[in-house]
């Protein structure tokens, strides 16, 4: 008997493409939330495959805090022009200027929380009814409870205790006017799966994922990048360090890791030996035990 | 053991399994051990759990806190919902759908079981087969999970007695003879002490079988997929609006079952037209000329056909001489998942493969007592967590197989049109 086998990455790929196509089929105005991070780069690649040889039939949406790593923005613009996608940028600075959001104060001020306002405004303005995101269940304990198709009420809120059961591969995207869905095709992927997939497919990534020399500040066990957005405490000093990033968020809340890993293969080996999760480098998750759950309920990514 | 053998990942398989159990049977301990021994728990996660356990005044580290993600769950010490956990060994990546044992057990177990290749059922060696063992096994059989591993746990508390193990096995076999289960394995373990979980136990020399981890890594799953009956539900039609691909019409979807090859004569449902497969884009390369020789479930692909036929989402491409049943009258077992009871003669929306329709509940035949497995012919009140046999009539003909033969084309969900909630999980008979 002939055996028909697919490896785990191809099965995950097939599942993700199925979910992306289901989103395009069930919703009128989907969008893909694109941060420039590795998970959203994988998402764009999967979306291209899902509709090839046609172009991706929905826009990419970037919620720009103004505190991005410049490398991420350069990468974003190059990718968008290469694949001929439409990019919409929702700006947190605009939300602040319009008085929709208020800048945080203090030494650890971050625009992370403000993104929710801009995100929900962008969704409403463009009447998006489904937003595809690259979040994974292994990232964080509140995300472990997410569905592929996650319902949001007219305020953009998530009600984790009252989620629809998701059976077999049957996705229920029915909703009332004003409500929307968040869709997570990478739900079943782990950090390692993402890296192995990037290596298998030979995907390009922003340079900050690979080891490089950078001016950094050590604060509360995190290595933060020195930048115009980061104010220093009197005792803090800038040091030159050899680092890379495991996740990419804002410069103000994403920590770097000391690392010599300069190739995909180095990174895969480093993660295999790593004893902490990637979200361990995010100060936005450490604000409280339920930081992610609280933000998600309000409409965060 | 190098957990993530880095050169091997191209050959790693994926196994989805479900666990079910109540608070005391050691399920959390067992999952914790599988995650811990495969190095899938990280230091920051473990530290957080240790901190919380200490604050709550527990003597030991409560590994259940790893899976309980939501505030309400941690406050109440319960699991609300199916929790998904991931671990990997050099051979396989595992997805665990961990379902809680309290009130909403049936709804959650059915959800977790719907995508599982394997069910892990825990039995406390001191207590033997309980009502909940019946329940779990019945659901595993109803959902047609291909493999069952019965772990007879807490063997350390019965002096690693072979007699206790043998007695429990024969008790279970009596139960399973009344069910439709194909492949059942029994392992005597102690999740707490680690006997026969990853390493072979020295305390039970009388047990000659494999350890749990060995079985999870080696159980034969490649024939779980149906590679005989060709079913391709069309999910999306690809028509690039570009001069370069002016005449391109691709039918995109995930193969539900069977093997498709270019040149195959196929039939399109519901029109009944026949055509031939021109090419199959495998999606491995973003290139129209890089096609493949065959495609099989569960691959997501795009097919092109020789002739121009009118095909849209919800249609199904099948082989000429192997067709599914086409009907509007459908018999099924259903698990009810809503606080609002099933309405006799009520109307619901349905989703089946890529097709949307509406239906009316024509007849409620009987309800199943999932503890005793008796049919309750006179009880027609179907509420949350109930399992029943019903007949529906749909607004459009559906193309289906029996759930026993095909878990994709044999499954259906019912949706309440007033609330948009998924209220029923149906398995076509």
The 10s digit of each residue's pLDDT in B219-228 is 998 788 889 9
Angle at B67 between CA B21 and CA B184, to 5 degrees: 35
Q: Give the CATH number for residue B279.
A: 2.40.30.10
Q: Does B306 touch chain A (CB under 8 A)?
A: no
Residues B183, B295, single domain; the answer is: no
Helix H or strand E segment including A123: helix A115-126
pLDDT in tens, B174-197: 999 989 888 999 999 998 888 999
Please list every residue in chain A whose beta carbon sits closer than 8 Å to the beta carbon of residue B354. 25
**Alpha-helical regions (H) of B80-198:** 105-113, 131-142, 162-176
- Whether residue A226 is found in the same domain as residue A265: yes
Closest CA to B185 of B222, B146, B136, B159: B146
In a domain, B1, yes or no: no
Is the ipTM higher than 0.90? The answer is: yes
| Residue B218 pLDDT greater than 90, yes or no | yes
Q: Do B86 and B150 fall within a single domain?
A: yes
Do A177 and A215 have their domain in common?
no
Chain B residues 208-247 with a CB less than 8 Å from chain A:
222-223, 225, 227, 235-236, 238-242, 244-245
- Checking if the pLDDT of B1 tops 80, the result is no
B281/A52 CB distance under 8 A: yes
Give the number of C-alpha atoms closer than 13 A to the C-alpha of residue B150, restricted to the C-beta side. Answer: 27
Same domain, A29 and A167: yes
pLDDT for B63 beyond 50? yes
- CB contact (8 A) between residue B300 and residue A172: no
A105 lies in the same domain as A141? yes
Cα separation, B14 vs B12, in Å, equals 7
Q: Which of B222, B223, B240 sits opposite A53 (nearest CB)?
A: B240
Which residue of chain B has the CA closest to A293?
B70
pLDDT at A280: 64
In a domain, A199, yes or no: no
Contact predicate A135/A186, CB 8 Å? yes
| Closest residue in chain A to residue B259, using alpha carbons only | A4
Once rounded to an integer, what is the mean pLDDT over residues B19-25?
70
Q: How many angstroms separate the CA atoms of B15 and B149, rounded?
A: 13
> What pLDDT is stored for residue B282 in this prediction?
67
Instruction: Calculate helix-pair angle for B131-142, B162-176, nearest 10 degrees.
Output: 50
Rounded to whole angstroms, the Cα distance separating A21 from A72 reads 27
- A187 and A116 part of one domain: yes
- The alpha carbon of residue B211 is apart from the nearest alpha carbon of chain A, in Å, by 23
Give the CA angle between residues A219, A138, B184 to the nearest 5°: 150
Residues A38 and A84 in one domain: yes
* Whether residue B298 has a cis bond before it, omega within 30° of 0: yes
Q: Both A106 and A235 in a single domain?
A: no
Statement to judge: residues A95 and A222 lie in one domain:
no
Are B374 and B253 within one domain?
A: no
Residues in chain A with CB shorter than 8 Å from the CB of B95 are: 188
User: Structural domain of residue B364, as residue ranges?
Assistant: 325-428
- Model confidence at B305, in pLDDT bands (50, 70, 90)? very high
Q: For B384, how many CA atoms within 13 A lie in the half-sphere containing its CB? A: 9
pLDDT of residue B350: 98
Domain count, chain A: 2
Cis preceding linkage at B270, omega within 30: yes
Looking at the predicted structure, is the pLDDT value of residue B18 above 80?
A: yes
Q: Is B201 on the interface with A (CB under 8 A)?
A: no
Highest mean pLDDT among A4-18, B11-25, B38-52: A4-18
Q: Is the pLDDT of residue B79 over 60?
A: no
**Would you say residue A210 lies in a domain?**
yes
Total length of chain B: 429
Domain presence at residue A275: yes
Q: Which of B349, B412, B420 sits opposite A175 (nearest CB)?
A: B420
Q: Which two tokens stand for residue A241?
A: 């360090």
Closest chain A residue by Cα to residue B406: A168
Question: Chain A partners of B115 at a C-beta cutoff of 8 Å?
Answer: 168-169
The mean-pLDDT minimum among A86-95, B304-313, B378-387 falls in A86-95
Please answer whether residues B117 and B221 qualify as being in contact, where contact means their C-beta atoms are separated by less than 8 angstroms. yes
* Segment 275-294 of chain B within 8 Å of chain A by CB: 281, 283, 286, 288
- Does residue B5 carry a pLDDT above 60? no
Dihedral pair phi/psi, residue B417, rounded to 5°:
-75, -15
Instruction: For tokens 């957080």, name the residue.
Output: B48
The answer on A145 and A49 residing in a single domain is: yes
B130 and B36 co-located in one domain:
yes
Q: H-helix or E-strand containing A117? A: helix A115-126
pTM of the model: 0.91
Residues A169 and A263 in one domain: no
* A165/B238 touch (CB, cutoff 8 Å), yes or no: no
Task: Kindly state whether residue B4 falls inside one of the protein's structural domains.
Answer: no
Per-residue pLDDT of chain A (301 residues; tens, 9 = 90+): 456 788 899 999 999 999 999 999 999 999 999 988 999 999 999 999 999 989 999 999 998 887 888 889 999 999 999 998 899 988 777 777 777 777 777 766 666 777 788 888 888 889 999 999 999 998 877 777 789 999 988 887 888 777 889 999 999 999 998 889 999 999 999 989 999 999 989 999 999 999 999 988 888 888 888 887 777 888 888 889 999 998 887 777 788 888 999 999 888 888 887 766 676 666 666 555 566 667 667 777 6
Question: Closest approach of chain A CAs to the CA of B204, in angstroms?
Answer: 34
Q: Is there a domain that residue B2 lies in?
A: no
Interchain CB contact of B1 with A (< 8 Å): no
Q: In the predicted model, is pLDDT for residue B132 greater than 70?
A: yes
* pLDDT above 70: percentage of residues in chain B: 88
* Pair A112, A23 in one domain: yes
* Measured CA angle at A114 (ends A109, A115), to 5 deg: 120
**Which of B10, B83, B100, B283 is the best mutation test for A, with the most CBs of A within 10 A?**
B283
Which one is predicted more confidently, A273 or B217?
B217
Q: Is the pLDDT of residue B321 over 70?
A: yes
Cβ-Cβ contacts under 8 Å, B92 against chain A? 8
Boundary of a domain, candidates B196, B218, B240: B218
Give residue A104's pLDDT: 72
- Domain holding A270, by residue range, is 206-285
Which helix H or strand E contains A293, and what residues bound it?
helix A291-298
Q: How many domains does chain B have?
A: 3
- B421 closest CB neighbour out of A8, A25, A164: A164
Tell me: do A177 and A255 sit in the same domain: no
pLDDT value of residue B65: 66
pLDDT for B26 beyond 80: no
What is the chain A residue with the closest CA to B256?
A: A169
Of B296, B337, B413, nearest to A4 by CB-CB distance is B296
Taking the C-alpha atoms of residue B250 and residue B239, their distance in angstroms, rounded to an integer, is 7
CATH label of the domain that carries residue A130? 3.40.50.620
Candidate ranges A210-214, B78-82, B364-368; pick with highest mean pLDDT: B364-368
Residue B122 within a domain: yes
Under a CB-based contact definition with an 8 Å cutoff, are residues A43 and A32 in contact? yes
**Are B88 and B132 found together in one domain?**
yes
Q: Which of A220-224, B149-153, B408-412 has the lowest mean pLDDT?
A: A220-224
Query: Nearest C-alpha of chain B: how many angstroms from A9?
Result: 8
Average pLDDT over residues B90-107: 80
Whether B72 sits inside 8 A of A290 (CB atoms) is: no
- B312 with B331, same domain: the answer is no
pLDDT band at B67 (very low <50, low <70, confident <90, very high): low
Q: Is residue B101 situated within a structural domain?
A: yes
**pLDDT cut 90: percent of chain B above it:** 61
What's the gap in Å between the CA of A153 and the closest CA on chain B? 12
CB-based contact B80 A289, cutoff 8 Å: no
A-interface mutation test, from B45, B50, B70, B287, most A Cβ less than 10 A away: B70
CATH of residue B29 = 3.40.50.300
Residue A1 lies in a domain: no
Within a domain: B224: no
How much is the pLDDT for A282? 62
Determine whether the interchain pair A54/B259 forms a contact, defined as Cβ–Cβ distance below 8 Å: no
Q: Would you say residue B226 lies in a domain?
A: no
- Best residue of A12, A54, A58 to probe chain B, by most B CBs closer than 10 Å: A54
């Amino acid at each position: 008997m002939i055996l028909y086998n697919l490896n785990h990455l191809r099965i995950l790929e097939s599942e993700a493409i199925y979910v992306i196509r289901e989103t395009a089929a069930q919703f009128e105005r989907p969008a893909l939330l694109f941060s420039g991070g590795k998970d959203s780069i994988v998402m764009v690649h999967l979306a291209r495959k899902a509709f090839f040889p046609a172009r991706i039939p929905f826009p990419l949406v970037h919620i720009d805090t103004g505190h991005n790593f410049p490398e991420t923005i350069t990468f974003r613009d190059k990718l968008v022009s290469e694949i001929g996608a439409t990019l919409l940028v929702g700006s947190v600075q605009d939300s602040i200027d319009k008085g929709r959001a208020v800048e945080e104060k203090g030494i650890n001020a971050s625009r992370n929380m403000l993104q929710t306002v801009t995100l929900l405004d962008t969704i409403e303005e463009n009447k998006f009814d489904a937003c595809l995101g690259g979040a994974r269940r292994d990232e964080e304990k509140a995300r472990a409870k997410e569905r592929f198709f996650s319902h949001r009420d007219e305020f953009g809120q998530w009600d984790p205790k009252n989620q629809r059961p998701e059976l077999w591969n049957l996705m229920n995207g029915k909703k009332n006017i004003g409500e929307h869905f968040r869709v997570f095709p990478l739900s079943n992927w782990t950090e390692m799966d993402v890296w192995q997939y990037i290596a298998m497919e030979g995907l390009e990534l922003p340079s900050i994922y690979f080891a490089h020399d950078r001016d950094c500040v050590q604060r509360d066990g995190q290595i933060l990048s020195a930048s115009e957005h980061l104010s220093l405490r009197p005792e803090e000093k800038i040091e030159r360090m050899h680092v890379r990033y495991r996740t990419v968020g804002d410069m103000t809340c994403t920590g770097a890791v000391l690392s010599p890993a300069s190739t995909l293969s180095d990174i895969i080996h480093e993660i295999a030996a790593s004893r902490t999760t990637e979200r361990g480098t995010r100060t936005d998750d450490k604000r409280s035990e339920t930081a992610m759950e609280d933000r998600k309920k309000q409409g965060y990514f | 053991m190098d957990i993530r053998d880095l050169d091997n990942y191209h050959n790693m398989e994926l196994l989805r399994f479900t666990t079910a159990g109540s608070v005391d049977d050691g399920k959390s301990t067992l999952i914790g051990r599988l995650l811990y021994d495969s190095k899938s728990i990280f230091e920051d996660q473990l530290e957080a759990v240790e901190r919380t356990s200490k604050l709550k005044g527990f003597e030991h580290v409560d590994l259940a806190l790893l899976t309980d993600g939501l505030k309400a769950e941690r406050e109440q010490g319960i699991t609300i919902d199916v929790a998904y956990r991931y671990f990997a060994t050099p051979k396989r990546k595992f997805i665990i759908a961990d379902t809680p044992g309290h009130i909403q057990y049936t709804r959650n177990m059915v959800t977790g079981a719907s995508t599982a290749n394997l069910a892990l059922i825990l039995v406390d060696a001191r207590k033997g087969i309980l009502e909940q063992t019946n329940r779990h096994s019945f659901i595993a059989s109803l959902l047609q999970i291909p493999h069952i591993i019965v772990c007879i746990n807490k063997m350390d508390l019965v002096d690693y007695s072979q007699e206790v193990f043998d007695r429990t096995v024969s008790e279970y076999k009596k139960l399973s003879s009344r069910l439709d289960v194909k492949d059942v394995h029994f392992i005597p373990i102690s999740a707490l002490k680690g006997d026969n979980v990853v390493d072979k136990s020295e305390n039970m020399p009388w047990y000659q079988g494999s350890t749990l981890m060995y079985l999870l890594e080696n159980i034969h799953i490649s024939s779980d997929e149906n590679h005989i009956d060709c079913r391709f539900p069309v999910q999306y039609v690809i028509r690039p609006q570009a001069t370069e691909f002016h005449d391109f019409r691709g039918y995109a979807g995930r193969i539900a079952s069977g093997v498709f090859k270019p040149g195959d004569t196929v039939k399109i449902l519901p029109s009944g037209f026949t055509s031939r497969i021109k090419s199959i884009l495998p999606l491995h390369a973003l290139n129209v000329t890089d096609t493949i020789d065959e495609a099989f479930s569960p691959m997501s692909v795009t097919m092109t056909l020789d002739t121009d036929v009118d095909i849209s989402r919800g249609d199904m491409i099948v082989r000429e001489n192997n067709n599914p049943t086409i009907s509007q009258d459908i018999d099924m077992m259903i698990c009810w998942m809503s606080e609002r009871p099933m309405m006799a003669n009520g109307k619901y929306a349905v989703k089946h493969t890529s097709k949307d329709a509406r239906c009316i509940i024509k007849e409620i035949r009987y309800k199943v007592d999932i503890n005793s497995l008796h049919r309750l012919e006179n009880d027609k009140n179907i509420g949350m967590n109930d399992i029943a046999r019903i007949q529906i009539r749909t607004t459009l003909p559906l193309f289906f197989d029996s759930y026993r033969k095909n878990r994709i084309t044999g499954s259906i969900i019912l949706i309440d049109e007033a609330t948009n909630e998924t209220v029923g999980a149906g398995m076509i008979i």
